[in-house]
Every structure is written in C-alpha cells, then in structure tokens.
Amino acid sequence: MGKLNVNLCGIELSNPVIPASGTFGYGYEFAELYDINELGTFSFKGTTKDPRFGNPTPRIAECTAGMINAVGLQNPGVEKVISEELPKLKACFHKPVMANVSGFSVEDYAYTCEKLDKEEQVGWLEVNVSCPNVHGGGMSFGTQPEAAAEVTRAVKAVTTKPVIIKLSPNVTDIVSIAKACEDAGADGISLINTLLGMRINLRTRKPVIANKMGGFSGSAIFPVAVRMVYQVANAVKIPVVGMGGVSSAEDVIEMMIAGATAVEVGAANLVNPYICRDIIRDLPEVMAQYHINSLEEIIGGVK
C-alpha cells in the first residue's frame, strides 16, 4: 500500500484530504456519520471576531456543475467558538484542526487569530482574505498584494502556529499576491476560494440569491484551481493547499502533481457528506493504478 502521509507546515497528516471551511461545520455534525479521525484534518467554519447572522436568504443556488453561495460568514463569533464549539469538536476529533478566520479590518484578523492560536487543538490558522460574499471585508484584503501582506504581518505578530493565507481567484495576478504573503511571513498559501458568480431567474428577472452575486464553486472550477495552484506552487517556497472543485481521489492526485501539499474538498461535501472519507479510501487503489508509492513524492511533479 502506498504512503498517504504528508507534512503540512511541520505537522504530519495521515493523508492530504481536508474538508474545506464552510462545508464541514465544526466537525461534530459529520462525526455522527463516520469517524472523522480518518481525515488528514479539516478546516472549521469561518470565524470572525463578532457573531454574524450572515446574508439574507435565499443565499444558496444550484447551477450547472456547481453552486453559488452567499452565506456571508454566519458564525457565533470567536468567543463562543472557543467556549462552545471547540469542546464539542475535541470530543470527536483527536488531531490538530485548521482554524479558518475572517475579518473586516486588520485588527479583527489579529484579534481572532491571537485568540485561536492559544487553543491546544488548533494546529494551523487559515486566514481567509478571499471571501466574495461579504461587504467591507474578506476579499477586499485579498485582491492587492499590499493589503494581503498587511494582514499576514499583523497575524504573524500575535501568533506562534503556522499561518496559511487563503487567496481569492478573483484577481488578475494571483502569483504577486501569494509572493507578498510569503514575504510577509506566511507559512503556507491555500487556494482557490470561490469564483464570483451570478444567476438570474428567467420568470422574475431577478438574481436567484438575495445578495445578487456569490461564490461559485463545484467541479466546474477545478481546471482554474489546478492552474492557479501550479502557478503559485512554482513561485513560492512555502507549502500550498489546493482546493476548488475537488471531488475524487484522481482530483487529489492531480492537485498534488500541480504542486499542492494537501488538498481541501469543499462543495462536494454538500452533495455527498461521505465524500472525503470515500476519497481517502480510494487513494491507495488510484495510487497503485498510476504507480505512485508515496504522495509526498508527487508534490509538484508536473512535467
């Protein structure tokens, strides 16, 4: 059997498969379905300094080969995540977890990351500077190198654990932003977040979601994600976590050949809650099919 383990920013993972933030709650919801300790880790629901109700409904819509969402970072705020969600998570998940953080100012990001950095079970801080579904925050920090670097520096100044900056594909030059984050001290880069999309109801002639536009995800965006992972992995010396339309063991291997050290699975969790478990179980057979002895050996192996 081939070796599935990888090392992400100094922390060993039993396999590279990670459910993406916003598609896996705080883990314990999925623990009712299967043993989530089979996962490499997971990125829990995006957390902000203060509680957020999120955007008005409707805020999710299906579309060809994917979906559009504008949930708007609904979460109870960092204090309640620490006091209520993490204890429930700890009862069912016995590995380091990835804490996903969003903010509306540099100070917000630093405050929330500093709080979560102190939590024993948090292994990595995935700092989301790329959410397209909120106004006045999120993606506004991820579309310019200087702004992304400013957030990176502020978070690194108050944390001790690996900081992975999650980038937006809704930019002209993803590489310059990734390099700015690396220069500012980022320990890793994760990409891509959702593309900005929109659908219109032909009967009402109104957008199908209340926010008008939202994040487009699903298998349709996979080629874009592979391209950006490849570009960034070849430009930086820090690990890249790839995501965007991943829904099979073959997709995971393709992402890793493009340069990803680990791979997140997002929208597919909403279609099949067992998808990450199934991908992990499928990996040895697919590795054997392509004569792969170790996943670590194929990282960035595109010819």
Contact criterion met (CB below 8 Å) for 273 and 33: yes
Contact criterion met (CB below 8 Å) for 124 and 8: yes
Contact criterion met (CB below 8 Å) for 251 and 218: no
Tokens of 105: 């100012």
9 is a catalytic site residue = no
Q: Report which secondary-structure segment, H or E, holds 87.
A: helix 86-92
Catalytic residue among 113, 131, 181, 276: 131
Contact criterion met (CB below 8 Å) for 73 and 56: no
d(CA 106, CA 71): 22
Starting from the edge strand earliest in sequence, which strands make up the sheet with 97-101, in order? 17-19, 262-265, 240-242, 188-191, 163-166, 122-128, 97-101
Instruction: Catalogue the active-site residues.
Output: 131
